[in-house]
């Protein structure tokens, strides 16, 4: 076996060879200094394999490859129709390999195979096809000026070399959200997946080659944030960084851009999203959405609905329903098609979430269900509900990124809005009510980039997504994301 591939066993027992090198210029290569990092299976706590860990010199190689491709085979050198065709081919290959990719995700991330296959990969394929459609349609405008002999027009030109840094919670979907609009717009890419979940991003690189993308268009450099991520964000020949991850790292990315070459930055950051349950709501449905909101992806979700506020007149009834639903969630083996919650991604995340649970208990909040680990092996946590919380508790204020919910009652609509908005974040918010006027009023008053009415956490590839306040800058998905990867050029024409 080469230094840049290894063989691992998938949950079905099937053995597959996976790439473990850095992906630069359509080739897998070791890090120049031979550095590696280990990736761990969170269900078994065992090391899966070692993967090359990019250092500053490797980032430089990848950026050079991306720059050369931008100047020669991609960017303005490849028509949008061709870019779109290659992207559709990539989507076809992802569909073909969906099962293997899903199993790899289950091993590396702990995500249930069924959810990874049907949602993460299904939605990612949709995202790539959506932007493939845009590749030849992202036109500028012709603008009349006040001089009849002159006109102006705009062109949407690709920004150039983009550093893309993604987290571990949706390794394939975050990859697709970033890669698809960038490729459609003609940008080249240096992608840094999370050090915790590099395997699916590397597997996708094989598909990049098979689809026929020219060398250097997409490069992939697993590595640690403080080393590889740092080098990418400070690199003087990177034109833009698109980042998804924590708000703390988001600040560092902005600082790096400011201190280096003022590269453009878009940020998708954390959240502490509320769900408001009004007395007219269909309580059973609302409880289903709240359950999904905090247990989907084991609560490791930037839009996790981690706070629920319920009108006092229906509080007891709603909580009863919710607790019952929480206790029915199947936590366990992510390879079982019936499992809804697998393990958390890592020991660090597991300990962080259990730490929050213990702190909630010490602060006097009441555990209604859950409240600790599930089983004795693997990073499994019981879906947990805390009642008796107050706004100053850390479990109410901070992003936990696990299946831990805080519930409280409110009396009036104004109080509900005030509680919902009492956060530095502004990513998502849900409201549940059968009063249409109330839905209009409250959705208008909520400070969040996405508001769900009588549903929660559903996204569409053609609807923009992003944060208010400290949840981010810019929008992903939909037509809006094209602006992240293009410069607008105005041409004044004298004829």
Give the binding site for ligand NAD (CB under 6 A): 165-169, 192, 194-195, 225-226, 229-230, 233, 244-246, 249, 252-253, 268-271, 302, 399, 401, 427, 467, 472
We find the least distance from the C-beta atom of residue 467 to ligand NAD, in angstroms, to be: 6
Q: CA-CA distance, 385 to 371, in Å (whole number)?
A: 8
Q: Which of 186, 195, 249 is nearest to 218 (CA)?
A: 186
Helix/strand/coil for 282:
coil
Distance CA 51, CA 236 (A): 26
120 within 8 A of 101, measured Cβ to Cβ: no
Q: What is the DSSP string of 199-219?
A: HHHHHHHHHHHHHTPPTTSEE
Nearer to ligand NAD, 103 or 268 (CB): 268
Of 228, 233, 271, 275, residue with least CA distance to 252 = 233
Q: Which residue in the list 103, 268, 399, 413 is annotated as catalytic?
A: 268
- Catalytic: 268? yes
**Minimum distance, C-beta of residue 438 to ligand NAD, in the bound complex (Å):** 27
CA distance 470 to 476: 16
HSE-CB of 252 using CA atoms within 13 angstroms? 16
Written as six digits, the tokens of 115 are: 């959810």
Let me know: does 441 contact 399? Beta carbons within 8 Å: no
- Start-end of H helices in 382-483: 394-397, 413-421, 436-445
Are 106 and 11 a contacting pair, CB within 8 Å? yes
Instruction: Give the β-pairing of 472-473 and 264-268.
Output: antiparallel
Q: How far is the CB of 429 from ligand NAD (least distance, A)?
A: 14
Shortest approach of ligand NAD to residue 134 CB, angstroms?
A: 20
Which CB atom, from 119 or from 153, has the smaller least distance to ligand NAD? 119
Query: Given the complex with ligand NAD, which of 165 and 365 has the nearer CB atom?
Result: 165
Pairing of strands 161-165, 240-244: parallel
CB of 419 to ligand NAD, least distance (A): 20
Residues 6+ apart with CB under 8 A from 371: 357, 361, 382, 384
Q: How far apart are CA 207 and CA 136, in angstroms?
A: 22
Question: By C-beta, is 244 or 339 nearer to ligand NAD?
Answer: 244
Q: What is the smallest separation between the CB atom of 14 and ligand NAD, expressed in angstroms? A: 28
Query: What's 1's DSSP letter?
Result: -
Instruction: Please name every residue paired with 165 in a beta bridge, in sequence order, or none if there are none.
Output: 192, 243
Cβ nearer to ligand NAD, comparing 192 with 263: 192
CB of 299 to ligand NAD, least distance (A): 11
Q: Are 417 and 436 in contact (CB under 8 A)?
A: no
> Looking at beta carbons only, is 169 or 457 nearer to ligand NAD?
169
Q: What is the closest distance, in whole angstroms, from the C-beta atom of residue 48 to ligand NAD in the complex?
A: 18
Strand stretches in 20-112, DSSP E: 22-24, 27-29, 36-41, 46-52
Q: 193 or 214: whose CB is closer to ligand NAD?
A: 193
Minimum distance of ligand NAD from residue 72's CB (angstroms) = 28
Cα distance between residue 386 and residue 395, in whole Å: 9
Q: How far is the CB of 172 from ligand NAD (least distance, A)?
A: 12
Nearer Cβ to ligand NAD (238/276): 238
- Sorted by sequence, the CB contacts under 8 Å of residue 35 that are 6+ apart come out as 52, 53, 54, 55
Q: How far is CA 205 from CA 84, 139, 274, 287, 409, in A?
A: 17, 29, 37, 40, 49
CB 87 within 8 A of CB 135: yes
Rounded-to-integer distance, Cα 440 and Cα 424, Å = 23
**Measured from the CB atom, is 93 or 420 closer to ligand NAD?**
420
Question: Residue 166 or 365: which CB sits closer to ligand NAD?
Answer: 166
Does residue 332 contact residue 295 with C-beta atoms inside 8 Å? no
* Residues identified as active-site: 268
């Amino acid at each position: 076996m080469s230094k840049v591939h290894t063989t691992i066993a998938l949950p079905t027992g099937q053995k597959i060879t996976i790439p473990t090198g850095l992906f630069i210029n359509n080739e897998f290569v070791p890090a120049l200094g031979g550095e590696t990092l280990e990736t761990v299976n969170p269900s078994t706590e065992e090391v899966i394999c070692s993967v090359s860990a990019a250092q500053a010199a490797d980032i430089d190689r990848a950026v050079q490859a991306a720059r050369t491709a931008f100047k020669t085979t991609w960017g303005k050198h490849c028509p949008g129709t061709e870019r779109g065709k290659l992207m559709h081919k990539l989507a076809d290959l992802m569909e073909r390999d969906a099962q293997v990719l899903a199993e790899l995700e289950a091993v590396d991330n702990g995500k249930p195979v069924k959810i990874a296959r049907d949602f993460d990969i299904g939605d990612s394929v949709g995202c790539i096809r959506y932007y493939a459609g845009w590749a030849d349609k992202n036109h500028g405008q012709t603008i009349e000026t006040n001089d009849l002999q002159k006109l102006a027009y705009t062109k949407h030109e690709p920004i150039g070399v983009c550093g893309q840094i993604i987290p571990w919670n949706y390794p394939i979907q975050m990859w697709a959200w970033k890669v698809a609009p960038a490729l459609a717009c003609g940008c080249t890419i240096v992608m840094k997946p999370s050090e915790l979940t590099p395997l699916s991003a590397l597997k996708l690189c094989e598909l990049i080659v098979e689809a026929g993308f020219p060398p250097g268009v997409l490069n992939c450099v697993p590595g640690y944030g403080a080393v590889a991520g740092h080098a990418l964000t400070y690199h003087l020949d990177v034109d833009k960084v698109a980042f998804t991850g924590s708000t703390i790292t988001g600040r560092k990315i902005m600082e790096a851009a400011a201190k280096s070459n003022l590269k453009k930055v878009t940020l998708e950051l954390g959240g502490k999203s509320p769900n408001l349950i009004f007395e007219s709501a269909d309580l059973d449905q609302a409880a289903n959405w709240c359950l999904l909101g905090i247990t989907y992806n084991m609560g490791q979700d930037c839009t996790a609905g981690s706070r629920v506020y319920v009108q006092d007149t229906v509080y007891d009834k709603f909580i009863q329903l919710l607790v019952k639903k929480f206790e029915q969630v199947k936590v366990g083996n992510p390879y079982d098609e019936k499992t809804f919650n697998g393990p958390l991604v890592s020991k660090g995340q597991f300990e962080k979430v259990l730490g929050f649970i213990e702190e909630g208990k010490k602060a006097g909040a009441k555990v209604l269900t859950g409240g600790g680990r599930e089983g004795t092996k693997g990073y499994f946590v019981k879906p947990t509900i805390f009642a008796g919380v107050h706004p100053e508790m850390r479990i109410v204020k901070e992003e936990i990124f696990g299946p831990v919910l805080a519930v409280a009652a409110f009396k009036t609509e104004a109080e509900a809005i005030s509680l919902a908005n009492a956060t530095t974040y502004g990513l998502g918010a849900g409201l549940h009510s059968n009063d249409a006027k109330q839905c209009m009023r409250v959705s208008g008053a909520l400070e969040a980039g996405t508001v769900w009415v009588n549903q929660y956490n559903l996204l569409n590839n053609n609807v923009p997504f992003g944060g208010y306040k400290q949840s981010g800058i810019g929008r992903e998905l939909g037509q809006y994301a094209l602006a992240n990867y293009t410069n607008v050029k105005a041409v004044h024409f004298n004829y």
